[in-house]
Chain A
């Protein structure tokens, strides 16, 4: 490949790809914020399981609420 060939390829590429408008058309912050909100870490399943288990225990043995409260 000669330097002349190289120059021709460069020239051909420049002619084939028009200059892009690199100006941003809108503020991206609202979209970024929405994406951040969507991806807020969900509560893991075992936390929900623990809450469910505690609620069931307290429903059948309400006196345990006082024991639980004492240890908090």
Chain B
């Protein structure tokens, strides 16, 4: 009997094999969204646990990696919704930057601040498409939506960001700072 069929039947050995095979992919996907290694590890464990609990819903002839990624994306989205206001999307440097980098740092912080204010769904689409440059079809699959919907979310995210950056005093030419 093949691995996925054995997993769907609840065989723990089969699940262990799948965990070892896919844990890196799941973690890699989540860390791109939440941008925090510890949180990504916790969410990966939660994802794997949910995968095992939902094993009876998985069709053994289906794509395990895509299914796992959808579960991971939903969890990451939930996390962003919960933590949106407090989570830093970027690890801050430990030491103070040199004076000539202060302006640049301030600009980055404003951009991060504006980004954090985006609705979670737009934030995820924009992170994966613009920052991580993941293929649109993969993003759409993970978000269980169409490529067109992802493009629309990215478009809306960019439009909102532009407005917010203008509001924060970062007008045209923001990328050059």
Contact = CB atoms under 8 A, between A and B. Distances in A.
Given A17-B131, A22-B31, A32 B19 contact: yes
A17 B158 contact: no
B31 A20 contact: yes
Interface stretch (B42-50, B64-72, B77-85, B136-144): B42-50
Interface string A9-31: 11111111110111111111101
A17 B89 contact: yes
Given A1-B159, A13-B126, A16-B112, A8 B45 contact: no
Contacts, number: 100
Contact of B45 (A15, A23, A35): A35
Nearest to A18: B90
Interface residues of B, number: 41
A10 B132 CA distance: 11
Contacts of A24: 23-24, 27-28, 41, 44
B121 interface: no
Given A21-B37, A28-B23, A29-B19, A15 B48 contact: no
Q: Which of A10, A32, A35, A39 has the most CB of B within 10 A?
A: A32
Interface of B: 12, 16, 19-20, 23-24, 27-28, 31-32, 35, 37, 41, 44-46, 48-49, 52-53, 89-91, 107-108, 111-112, 115, 126-127, 130-131, 158-159, 161-162, 165, 172-175
